[in-house]
Amino acid sequence: MIRSAKFLRRLKSDQTGALGFEFAIAMPVLVTIMLGILQFAMVLHASGAMRNAMGEGLRLAKVNPDATATEVTDETKDEFVGVAHSGIQSLVFTRGTAANGADYGRLVMQYELTPLLPFAPIPPIVINEEKQIYLQT
């Protein structure tokens, strides 16, 4: 009994290996937080690239009233830089007339972003953007 009490006191005061143990507990938490921040940044980047590309496509429709829907969507794809084009699920440009008689152009885009952890069962992140402008008459 006295021997085990002495051993426990010595074990309690021994700090050898404490740093490694604390590191082993903290590291998974830190890696998870860093991956989450990186994934969020990738979503923000893709969303910003989508908005910029859609703005350029709609600008073409505004300055060139004769531009076809294919030309507008091609311009949008050309301006969609820094992001994989393979993630574009749909890109649709439509022209119409509003209730007040004004012509408008609407561009709708859906983009699918693959998560960072391919081995984890995480569904793809889907980003939807829609932009509408009034066109010249």
pLDDT in tens, 54-108: 999 999 999 998 999 999 999 999 999 999 999 999 999 999 999 899 999 999 9
pLDDT at position 3: 72
Q: Could you give the CA distance from residue 46 to residue 120 in angstroms, rounded to a whole number?
A: 21
Residue 14, pLDDT > 70, answer no
Q: What percent of the chain has pLDDT over 90?
A: 66
Q: Whole domain around residue 112: which residue ranges?
A: 2-134
Into how many domains does the chain fold? Answer: 1
pTM: 0.78
Strand partners of residue 110? 90, 128
Report the SS3 class of residue 113. Answer: strand
Count other Cβ atoms within 10 Å, centred on residue 111. Answer: 24
28 vs 23, 25, 34, 123, CA distance in Å? 9, 7, 10, 22
